[in-house]
Structure 1
Amino acid sequence: MTRTTRTTARPTAPVGRAVPRPRRADAGPGTVHKTVLPGGLRIITETVPFVRSATFGIWARVGSRDETPALNGATHYLEHLLFKGTRRRSALDISSAVDAVGGEMNAFTTKEFTCYYARVLDTDLPLAIDIVCDMLTGSLIAAEEVDAERGVILEEIAMTEDDPSDGVHDLFAHTLLGDSPLGRPVLGTVETVNALTRDRIARFYRRHYDPTRLVVTAAGNVDHAAVVAQVTAAFESAGALSGESAEPVGPRTGRRGIKTAGRVDVQERPTEQAHVVLGMPGVSRHDDRRWALGVLSTALGGGMSSRLFQEVREKRGLAYNIYTHTSGYADCGIFGVYAGCRPDRLDDVLKICREQLADAAEHGISDDETRRAIGQLAGSTVLGLEDTGSLMHRLGKSEVCWGRQMSVDEMLERFAAVTPDDVRQVAREVLGHRPSLSVIGPLNDRQAARLPAAVA
């Protein structure tokens, strides 16, 4: 039995901040429809009738954390291969059809999910639906394409290694999480990618791309009933819907403790800068403390007025780029500080970062910093949803990660409800951990020998 629900964003009044009222619930953003087909496929849309574009995506509940050590990189490899041809279209047919209507098509792989999407004019939405559904249900995964794409992926790995400001985050994930699925790189390694065969990738595809693990999303000038009809027809024609009743696979859950502390990993590279991440365990995306941690992270390193930006860059000129970041997974999280600086300034940068984190852990942040961070988060949340691609992304990630849709108003309310006491508590609980450290750069032996003291 097909189930369809409709969710309308309810305007709320977050503490200390007004929420702009949306247009009529049936004529603007905030009206979300969800249909669950008998085979477990979920279809979610948000209608924005005053735009001329639409973004269509399919989300697969599979990421690099679902890989064994020998399969590391298979999820990302598969993402590439689904663009390489189906029973109905060659790779050139896929790209030519999207280019011919001025559309954009892409995909991305994370540690916990994968997304394939196309952004087109609203009149070309049926084409986007047909192509993306065809890719997800009818991919050939031909042996010759597996071999050809291997070289492309190895070049992508090499490109990442040439960008230490990116690579240091992969290094830090391994520093903090070790040789675990979350600690391994999404792209895989040269060794694991070279070892992957067509048969192993095809088995991985069949295991993780069934309708119960997929979420279809569309946002823009779309009609929900039409999207459901087109997606259903596409999946049925490919034989991807059996007609048997099945429940969707729910969000990931669990609790994972990160026990590492004080670890230091250094990769010697002949770069101009030393790239560093100093951090510790954060909170999972199911933890209600994530709202307060987001406020804390913003106040410490989320903008030009943040503490670390002011202390490290503005007052002392020690670094051009410095910021904090959080990553929330289903069962754990990461909090980190990134900085890029000249190697001879690394000691000073680390000293200031440790002092600022220790001060926040002991005293929290001021009421003014709390208000400013909440305002920054509220503004960036709303401004980040000004296009159909962002709306589609919110629909899919919400369903895959939480199993429900959280309206923009609800998110604003959760941020606005954070108090300075909430921030002080999460600062004690998160920043009180002994940090770990990852560095990529041209350090001499004396500098490398001093690094353990930075996390003592």
Structure 2
Amino acid sequence: MPVALSHLDNGIDLILEPIVTAKTAAIGFWFSVGSRYEPKNQRGITHFVEHMLFKGTSSRTARDIALAFDRIGGYINAFTDRENLCVHCVVPSEYAEKAIEIMNDMMNHSLFSPEEIEKERQVIESEIISSYDDPEEAANEAVFQAIWPNQSLSQSIAGSVEDIASLVREDLLDWYTRYIQNGKLLICISGNFSERKIRAALETNPDRKKIFNEPPFSLPNPHEGFHFLSASFQMEQLFFCYNLEKPKTLQEYLHWHILNAIIGDTMSSRLFQSLRERAAYCYTVYSYYATSSDSALLCAYASASKK
């Protein structure tokens, strides 16, 4: 069946993809906010709010939320990117409305209790520190900083330990109110579900107050050239990055993804076959194509020993 896009009266955009042969439903709540929107004195706040969505509502504890999905054989998680925060789940088809009811609760009634905030602050600090021990992740952060130095597009998604330590409950609640409760929201659902019941479940959400205002971004100013960074890792991290204009059409977007697949996205790609399979120069080698609202990046990566 065809994919259908609609706009609900309460301000939510909805994309439905019915698959009648499926046994499950995949649901994604996409909020139009990410690290790129954050002022410098609140870096990491979107990611912090993402964590707090799972820490209890006015009617559910954090354990209640986790058990609700485990008991029905479902899965729920979330991630923060540079321009989006997404809460997503996969559940058996007959529990799609129940999953939406719980996600609605998280979106509208999260508590942000002081005790949970302090506990989660420690968790996020550990997450940040662990990223410093991951050569690939640390190198990727450095690459973004080298391409877009001191620009919002290259801000760390999680922030630094110092950034997280400076955020207070009022900051988190204000961000949650503006961008989760009242910001732009796109909900995507694919699988076997009742469209009538899905719409009824989503229409229980209060009207979104349209107080979300996207900051007036300046166009990214990419830097070119060679960048060398010293680190204590045993392996060398190599990146070749090409800054591109964002694709203007869906066809152009798909063409870039096809090119990326040929270059390094699969085991049969040129990079994998030449550098790993034939030459045995490295274990990890791949490419990726990433886009934002106003730019794109094609990047090839390899990790090799110093010899």
Q: By the TM > 0.5 criterion, same fold?
A: yes
Within-5 A mapping of 1:286-297: 286=248, 289-297=252-260
Residue 272 of structure 2 is matched in structure 1 by: 309
Alignment check: 8 A CA contact 1:120 1:128 kept: yes
Paired position in structure 2 for 1:172: 143
Percent identity, aligned pairs only, is 28
Q: 2:224 corresponds to which residue? A: 261
Distance apart, 1:211 and its partner CA: 4.6
Q: Does 1:80 align with 2:14?
A: no
Residue 37 of structure 2 corresponds to residue 37 of structure 1: no
Aligned-residue offset at 1:301: 2.2
The answer as to whether partners of 1:61 and 1:113 remain within 8 angstroms in 2 is yes
Aligned to 1:372: none
Structure-1 separation of matches of 2:255 and 2:5: 30
CA contact (8 A) 2:37 2:214 kept: no
| Aligned-residue RMSD, C-alpha | 2.5
| Pair 1:194–1:251, CA change in 2 (3 A) | closer
Structure 2 residue aligned with 1:325, among 266, 273, 288? 288
- Answer yes or no: is 1:118 the counterpart of 2:89: yes
Task: Name the aligned partner's letter for residue 306 of structure 2.
Answer: P
Q: 1:257–1:153: structure 2 CA closer, same or farther, 3 Å change rule?
A: closer
Task: Name the TM-score, length of structure 2 as normaliser.
Answer: 0.91
1:272 aligned partner, one-letter code: Q
User: Over residues 87-119 of structure 1, what are the superposed CA-to-partner deviations in whole Å (9 max), with x where a residue is unaligned?
Assistant: 111111111111111211111111111111221
User: Quick check: 2:4–2:15 contact (8 Å CA) kept in 1?
Assistant: yes
Cα contact 1:285–1:329 (8 A) shared by 2:
no
Q: Which secondary structure state, in structure 1, belongs to the residue aligned with residue 54 of structure 2? A: coil
More strand by share: 2
SS in 1 for 2:59: coil
TM-score of the two chains, using structure 1 as the length reference: 0.62
Q: What residue in structure 1 maps to residue 239 of structure 2?
A: 277
* Paired amino acid for 1:195: S
Change (3 A) 1:219 1:336: same
Relative distance call for 1:68 and 1:131 in structure 2 (3 A) is same
2:117 to 146, 156, 160: 146
Would the alpha carbon gap of residues 221 and 306 (structure 1) be closer, same or farther in structure 2, given more than 3 Å must change?
Answer: closer
Question: For the residues of structure 2 that align with 1:72 and 1:320, how far apart are their CA atoms?
Answer: 34
1:49 aligned partner, one-letter code: V
**Distance change in 2, residues 1:215/1:251 (3 Å):** farther
Partners of 2:171 and 2:54 lie apart in 1 by 18
Partner SS for 2:282: coil
The residue correspondences of 1:6-405 to structure 2 (distance < 5 A) are 30-211=1-182, 213-233=184-204, 235=205, 240-241=206-207, 256-269=219-232, 271-286=233-248, 289-344=252-307
Equivalent pair of 2:10/2:203 in contact (CA under 8 Å): no
Change (3 A) 1:253 1:179: closer
Aligned residue type for 1:172: V
Partner-residue secondary structure (3-state), 1:274: strand
Q: 1:325 to 1:56 in 2, by over 3 A?
A: closer
Give the CA deviation at 1:250.
11
Q: What's the offset of the Cα at 1:265?
A: 4.1
Paired letter, 2:276: R
Q: Distance in 2 between matches of 1:332 and 1:285?
A: 8
Alpha-carbon offset, residue 289 of structure 1:
4.4
- Please give the per-residue CA displacement for 1:4-44, whole angstroms capped at 9, x wherever unaligned: xxxxxxxxxxxxxxxxxxxxxxxxxx422333222311222
Cα displacement (A) at 1:154? 1.0
Q: For residues 265-321 of structure 1, what are the alpha-carbon distances to aligned partners after superposition, in whole Å with 9 as ceiling and x for unaligned? A: 41412x332222221312324466444433333333233443333332233221122
Does the 8 Å CA contact 1:176/1:280 hold for their aligned counterparts? no
Equivalents in 1 of 2:162, 2:136: separation in Å? 23
Deviation string for 1:389-413 (max 9, x for gaps)? Answer: xxxxxxxxxxxxxxxxxxxxxxxxx
Report the residue type matching 1:316 in the other structure: A
Which shows bigger deviation, 297-306 or 177-186?
Answer: 297-306
Structure number with higher helix proportion: 1
Residue type matched to 2:243 in 1?
P
Contact 1:282-1:335 at 8 Å conserved across structures: yes
